[in-house]
Amino acid sequence: MANLREIYQLGSDVIRSVAEKVSDVHAADIQSLIDDMIFTCKESKGVGIAAPQVNCSQAIIIIASYPNERYPHAPMMEPTALINPKIISHSSSMLKDWEGCLSLPGIRAQVPRYREIEVSYTDREGNEHTVMYRDFVARIFQHEHDHLVGKVFLDRIESTFDVVMEKEYQRLMSDEKGERS
């Protein structure tokens, strides 16, 4: 049974540390960690989470995109565990769009990210994969991958004017929705 884990916030040493490579994907503690991360991500209304966010300095991320209160336009996908993930290549084009983070609650920012990335990773069964991610899912991957190298989304912003508080973000999104109607 999966457990809800505490999400560590910016200021905790683990958030700024470089995660260690997982050597045995089949280890019981790694499998339990993956289950807990998927559960914690869903319960927190996140679309992704990295192991350092739950105080485990291991190179594991979960991508779990689905429409929710925080990301109403997110595409639906099965939660996926990516162990020892790497970016192999990326597009030259970037897109600046809104991001938030479970480890920085209440803050949103416009963050430039590559529109398309090719990544390699090991799944929880030990199989190697190489996949292409685009747009929102590519953004999730890059955001979570940053956590594995001690970065947060605020490290990627181009200007402090790109940062807003959650309440203001919700107002901006509401105004934008009204303009599209």
Annotated binding site for Fe cation: 101, 143, 147
Q: What angle do CA 129, 134, 137 make, to 5 degrees?
A: 80
The structure tokens 């979570």 sit at 144
Amino acid identity for residue 26 in this structure: H
CA 72, 141, 89, 160 torsion-angle sign: positive
CB 36 within 8 A of CB 5: yes
User: Is residue 20 flagged as an active site residue?
Assistant: no
Torsion of CA 127, 51, 36, 107, to 10 degrees: -130
Contact 39, 2 (CB under 8 A): yes
CB 2 within 8 Å of CB 35: yes
Which of 166, 148, 180 shows the shortest CA–CA distance to 83?
A: 148
Residues comprising the binding site? Answer: 101, 143, 147
- Cβ partners under 8 Å of residue 20, min gap 6: 57, 58, 59
Quickly tell me which residue has 């999730």 as its tokens: 140
**Which of 6, 118, 128, 144 does the annotation list as catalytic?**
144
> Catalytic amino acids?
144
